[in-house]
Amino acid sequence: MRSVLPAVAEQLFRDIQKTYQETSQIPNDLLIALRFVFGPCALQALDLVDQHSVTCLSSPSGRKAFQVVGGSGTLYTCFLSCHYCPCPAFAYTVLRRNEGLLCKHILAVYLCQAMAVTQQESVSDQQMSILLSRTSAP
């Protein structure tokens, strides 16, 4: 599968992964780079990471979805495979206005994966199908 993020963002996540594995911290230069590449949602995404708001749901068939508890307590189901989040900011800023690469929820998922701090939960294929059908409903 080809990534939907620019090469600079992919490299930034690799740098965060390498540094975080070694030091359990993200150095200032990478924090500044995050802010430069992703704008104001970078700080909000880091806050979601600190709050352990990201859970990876995986099913026996290999499907994955990520649930992110937003700052207001709303649960968003995000999909990295198609670069999608149902939040209003994603619809408006990313899709409609094309002013950002992603929303804070998807960025939090990428950061949690790079830092290996994503909470994991197994669900049945039937539960995943129900989750997918609810997410695609208007």
pLDDT greater than 70 at residue 138: no
Residue 90 lies in a domain: yes
List the one residue out of 88, 69, 66, 89 whose CA is nearest residue 77.
66
The count of domains in the chain is 1
Residue 38 lies in a domain: yes
Tens of pLDDT, residues 108-134: 999 999 999 999 999 999 999 998 887
Q: In what order do the strands lie in the sheet with 64-69?
A: 75-78, 64-69, 54-58, 119-122
Q: Is the whole-model pTM more than 0.85?
A: yes
| Phi, psi (deg, nearest 5) at residue 55 | -125, 130
Residue 101 lies in a domain: yes
Residue 1 lies in a domain: no
Residue 12 lies in a domain: yes
**Length of the chain measured in residues:** 138
Identify the domain containing residue 109 by its residue range: 7-136
Helix axes 104-115, 7-23, angle to 10 degrees: 50
Tens of pLDDT, residues 19-60: 999 999 999 999 999 999 999 899 999 999 999 999 999 999
Residue 2 lies in a domain: no
